[in-house]
Amino acid sequence: MTSQNPLEHPAIEYLAHQTPRPGQIDMMIEANQSLSNGGFHLAAAPTGIGKTAAALAAAIEVAKKSKSDKKIFFLTSRQSQHRIVVDTVRRLNQLRQDKEKITLVDMIGQSGMCVQPFAKESSLVFSILCSQARKSRSCIPWITQAPNLSQRILNSPLHVDELVELTKIHRENQVLTQTCPWKVARESVKHADVFVGDYNHLFDDGVREASLEAMGVSLSDIIIIVDEAHNLANRIRLTMEKRLTPTIVKNTAMELEEHLGTLQENSNLPGSQTNGEEIELISWGLEVIRACRQTFTELFNSLHTSLPNGKDEQKVEVIDFVNAIHRACDMSEGNSQQRTIVGTAEPKASLVSRNKRLKTIQQLLANVDIEVETDSDDATYEPDSHRFAEIIECVNRFGEGTAMTLIFDTKGKDGKITTHLLDPGLVSRPVFENSSGAILMSGTLYPPTMYANLLGLPDEKTTSRSYKSPFSGSRRPVLLAQDVTTKYTERGHDMTLKIRAQITALVKGTPGNIAVFVPSYKMLNDIFADAHFPGIRKVTESRDWSKQDIDGIVELLRDGKESGQRILLCGVFGARLSEGVDYNGGILDAVACIGIPNPPPSVLNNALKEYVAERFGRDLAWQYTSTQPAINAIMQAMGRPIRSIGDRALILLLDKRHSDRVYAKCYPSDLMMSNTSGPETTTSFAKRFFAKVHTTKEE
């Protein structure tokens, strides 16, 4: 229930701002009300509304008044967002100096927190080496106990890098005690109010089960906050993408053979827990995988020969994939008539029943344990038996209905088969329904009802709202160029020159740094590779940029702003420069968005449209799979220069199709656009705007 005076609402006690921002209290109260009823609130909350503080205030108040111990899991897809959450809780604690402090644990992936040399290995190699080091008790930080460290972590919210450094200098009884940062952080979550981590802590089944058990936390006692929630559906889909090649099948047979040999050797050692039935089952599995080399080679050959003319990909029927395994089982059993039941002389025709074959093989392959040599030339080696197990599990779990599709493409030596989960709600819905409630928020969670549908949130417990931007249109005007487009039928050299002329016009009218985003790296090269823009330094994003390269961009822009040397930053929608980088401090004066990043035609996109049409109707299929994601990617880019309420920026949209109804309806109703008919108009508009509107400091 909302108080007559919003400033008297109990959640205001946990708001990390002395003066609430426009729209912030509305979001806090509505989210709080939804959580109080065990529901889910979707907030399309523009930059500047203070959504992190509002969400935390709503969730903390509900957790504190609960009769049982509730934990807040603040999940985000980017590490840069972790710092914002930690800083928000620090600010809240400063405002609550005489009251109970809010405790927090910030974690990233295990390898990112590891202090061992093998932390630099590829993810799966690290996982294996870490597991081996723990099993053999050769990882000293893992077995080292530091009982007082957890309380030090909880005394004051720490960024994850600060937590790692703390473990390096921590002393127990005056003795330097180096323990595993990831382990102590995970153990500390049980005693914290807020946990900050990645989506996979709850939305990857294997990670969730392991994490919550180690943390001593039940999903039913978790209040979930999903930041940048527009990314969650695609992140779940990406997590469920599993790949298989003939090489993976071949390597799996060799790995399983090595694993079996090790078990057979160890079975003769005193105290061995390996029994004859286990060895016989693995022997059966090895025969099946050896036969799979033939059956999957035949499947891949048939896929190559049946490709439509001029195409390099096609759909694979799930039954064809499954039958390749069943045929291998039949072949192996036909070649194994000499196997006998332990303790009898009778031949055994089938060790595993047909309906349990896939599950049994998946479990056998997932348990393969082999030695990994990190000092070999192939330092990126990963166990292919685990990859094969993952794709079998995915097919076994989702393959019976229409929610998953298999796609074959010719990339690589022999081509590959990839699983694609079309319905992320099959993964997310059980998580949300079994939690204590959730807030999903993003500046581009628009329309929120679309994301509620895609993530499978129950209608009866879900509320949503698009909050009005606190920035007046006069501080972030949007200018639409009516003389350019990247529509395929109108592309060409003349159109490229027109687009460059619009960029030049923006450069002439803008006093500081400018960011430009395009739909693809190919278009980035076509437009900017040999282009020169007077008076500004061009910096173009590369696929090969490291994390350090990305981190250096903000400092480069800040240095340019302070020295008067302007930067034209050229990047790609949906890539690292257009999402996740915090261009704070007003270091960008303008953003230009070239084209509309509609996904290119593909077998996957066609399958996705068909599935969405089946679930939500054909009227929504195109919007959900093409136009809305494209416009939301543009809105993400548009929000890059506006990081605080005192910022101002000019947005230039370089594609006349934005005024077409199919795209215009995808924008929030309160977003207004002005038109420019040519470069001269663009320059004049920019000069007037920057002469009249200046950056101000936030009070």
Query: Does 478-692 match 6-239+426-466 at the fold level?
Result: yes
Based on C-alpha coordinates, what's the Rg of the chain?
28
CATH of domain 478-692: 3.40.50.300
User: What does 315-337 look like in DSSP terms, one character per residue?
Assistant: EE-HHHHHHHHHHHHHHHHHT-T
pLDDT digit string (tens) for 4-56? 687 889 999 999 988 888 789 999 999 999 999 999 999 999 877 889 999 99
Antiparallel, parallel or unpaired: β 404-409 and 416-421: antiparallel
Cα-based distances in Å from 621 to 450, 458, 597, 611, 626: 11, 20, 17, 8, 8
> So what's the pLDDT on residue 125?
80
Euclidean distance between CA atoms 541 and 80, whole angstroms: 19
pTM of the entire predicted model: 0.90
| Locus of tokens 């009300």 | 33
Q: Token pair of 22, please? A: 């426009």
**What is residue 153's three-state secondary structure?**
helix
| Locus of tokens 């059980």 | 430
- Return the closest-CA partner of residue 191 out of 162, 155, 166, 158: 155
Contact 74, 161 (CB under 8 A): no
Euclidean distance between CA atoms 358 and 327, whole angstroms: 12
The ranges assigned to domains in the chain are 6-239+426-466, 246-414, 478-692
> So what's the pLDDT on residue 1?
42
On the 0-12 / 13-18 / 19+ scale of CB atoms within 10 A, 534 is exposed
**What is residue 667's three-state secondary structure?**
coil
Euclidean distance between CA atoms 434 and 440, whole angstroms: 16
**What is residue 285's three-state secondary structure?**
helix
> So what's the pLDDT on residue 342?
40
Listed as ranges, residues in the chain with pLDDT below 50 are 1-3, 336-349, 376-380, 699
> So what's the pLDDT on residue 344?
38
Please, which residues bridge with residue 222 across strands? 71
In sign, the C-alpha dihedral spanning 567, 568, 570, 574 is positive
> So what's the pLDDT on residue 475?
84
> So what's the pLDDT on residue 98?
86
Contact 205, 177 (CB under 8 A): no
User: What does 91-124 look like in DSSP terms, one character per residue?
Assistant: HHHHHTTTSPPPPEEE---HHHH--SGGGGS-HH
Euclidean distance between CA atoms 518 and 591, whole angstroms: 11
Contact 57, 454 (CB under 8 A): no
Contact 179, 145 (CB under 8 A): yes
Contact 63, 193 (CB under 8 A): yes
Contacts of residues 606-611 at CB distance under 8 Å and 24 or more positions apart, as own/partner, are 607/315, 607/405, 607/407, 607/420, 607/422, 608/420, 608/422, 611/402, 611/403, 611/422, 611/423
| Locus of tokens 């490709």 | 307
CATH number (3.90.1300.10, 3.40.50.300, 3.90.79.10, 3.30.465.10) of 6-239+426-466 reads 3.40.50.300
| Locus of tokens 């990859």 | 387
Contact 242, 419 (CB under 8 A): yes
- Return the closest-CA partner of residue 480 out of 602, 641, 592: 592
Euclidean distance between CA atoms 556 and 587, whole angstroms: 10
Q: Find how far residue 426's CA is from the centre of its chain.
A: 17
- At 526, give phi and psi (nearest 5°): -60, -40
Euclidean distance between CA atoms 460 and 477, whole angstroms: 38
